[in-house]
């Protein structure tokens, strides 16, 4: 059970058995979203260091110069454009003899407090891009005889992280996609791995900008201080994450759900053993805290002044100006 649900190293390969599928044959690995500074970039380097044949992709070839210098094959690929996916597929097929062993869908987009167009674009990258990649590369994976599809999911798809609803939703959809593909691809001996990723050092974190009509506009500066980059504070180093993911995907029996990264074990405990609204209950105090901040900001605008604002203890004392 511990192995199935991924309790860190509780089941940490007490015996490092069957770690590789076939140690004498190079596997072909295709990774999306390999721009410098991210998870895909680190995964490409790690698979390459293990002697595998890696195809790193990104929308801009310039962002993968380091990988190319290491001898990794780089391809231009935009997961939101089917023509780009098919072009990469055809090039890879020629170079590998029509075979792909491991597909890692890592291309992601993260936007907070976005408008609807941005939200739709996020789903295009995070969800529909992953679907399109599987559809276009499935024949090559079948030819492998023992393929892998890995989706870089996120604990954000389970943990109700405020101000990231669209991103959270896209990752929850990726989790559902992985579960369904696992059933559909099982007859072809393709194993699907959902990577429940917690905090990992990367360049994904972006500044938080609230729209003019946001309910939280009065406390925007506080949110900027407390919310932006929170996943990076105690994040797992990207290289460490890449090593463990690579080992998992090269294992003869990789876990269906692999929890890894800062706060992932805590999220696993909540999701596995507690009621589904437990995380919401945990955030109730935070919601109350924000409500009081908004109220105090509103009263200040209405002509009150603050004598004392003890946000730590959620005490707000206001005195009417004389």
CA distance 11 to 315: 46
Residue 321: what are its φ and ψ, rounded to 5°?
A: -65, 140
Torsion, Cα of 202, 204, 205, 211 (10° steps): 180
Give residues with Cβ within 8 angstroms of 305, minimum separation 6: 318, 319, 321
Question: Which residue of the set 45, 171, 191, 216 is catalytic?
Answer: 171
**Is 306 in a helix, a strand, or coil?**
strand
Active site residue 91: no
Q: Classify each residue of 196-233 as buried b or exposed e, where b means 16 or more C-beta atoms within 10 Å of its C-beta.
A: bbbbbbbebbeebebeeeeebebbeeebeeeebeebee
CA distance 114 to 117: 8
DSSP 207-250: -----TT-TTGGGHHHHHHHTTTGGGTTPBPHHHHHHHHHHHHH
Question: Which residue of the set 45, 99, 167, 191 is catalytic?
Answer: 167
Give residues with Cβ within 8 angstroms of 208, minimum separation 6: 112, 113, 163, 220, 223, 224, 227, 228
Of the candidates 76, 88, 87, 83, which has an alpha carbon nearest to the alpha carbon of residue 28? 88
Q: Classify each residue of 292-308 as buried b or exposed e, where b means 16 or more C-beta atoms within 10 Å of its C-beta.
A: bbeebbeeeeeeeeeee
Active site residue 171: yes
Catalytic residues: 167, 171
């Amino acid at each position: 059970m511990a192995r199935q649900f991924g309790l860190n190293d509780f089941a940490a390969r007490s015996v490092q058995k069957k770690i590789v599928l076939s140690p004498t044959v190079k596997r072909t690995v295709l990774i999306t979203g390999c721009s410098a500074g991210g998870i895909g970039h680190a995964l490409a380097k790690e698979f390459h260091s293990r002697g595998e044949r890696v195809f790193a992709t990104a929308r801009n070839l310039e962002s993968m110069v380091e990988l190319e210098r290491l001898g990794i094959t780089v391809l231009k690929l935009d997961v939101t454009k089917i023509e780009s996916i098919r072009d990469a597929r055809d090039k890879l097929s020629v170079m590998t003899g029509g075979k792909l062993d491991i597909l890692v869908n890592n291309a992601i987009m993260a936007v907070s407090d976005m408008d609807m167009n941005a939200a739709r674009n996020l789903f295009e990258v995070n969800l529909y891009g992953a679907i399109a990649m599987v559809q276009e590369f499935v024949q090559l994976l079948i030819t492998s005889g023992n393929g892998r599809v890995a989706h870089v999911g996120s604990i954000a798809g389970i943990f109700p992280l405020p101000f990231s609803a669209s991103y959270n939703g896209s990752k929850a959809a990726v989790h559902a996609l992985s579960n369904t593909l696992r059933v559909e691809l099982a007859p072809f001996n393709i194993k699907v791995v959902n990577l429940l990723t917690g905090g990992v050092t990367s360049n994904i974190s972006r500044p938080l900008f609230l729209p003019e009509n946001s309910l939280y506009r009065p406390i925007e500066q506080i949110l900027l201080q407390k919310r932006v980059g929170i996943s990076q504070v105690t994040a797992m180093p990207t290289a460490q994450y890449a090593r463990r993911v690579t080992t998992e995907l090269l294992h003869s029996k990789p876990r269906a759900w692999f929890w890894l990264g800062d706060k992932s074990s805590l999220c696993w405990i909540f999701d596995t053993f507690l009621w589904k609204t437990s995380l919401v209950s945990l955030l109730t105090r935070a919601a109350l805290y924000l409500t009081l901040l908004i109220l105090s900001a509103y009263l200040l605008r209405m002509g009150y002044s603050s004598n004392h604002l003890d946000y730590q203890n959620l005490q707000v004392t206001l005195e009417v100006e004389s």
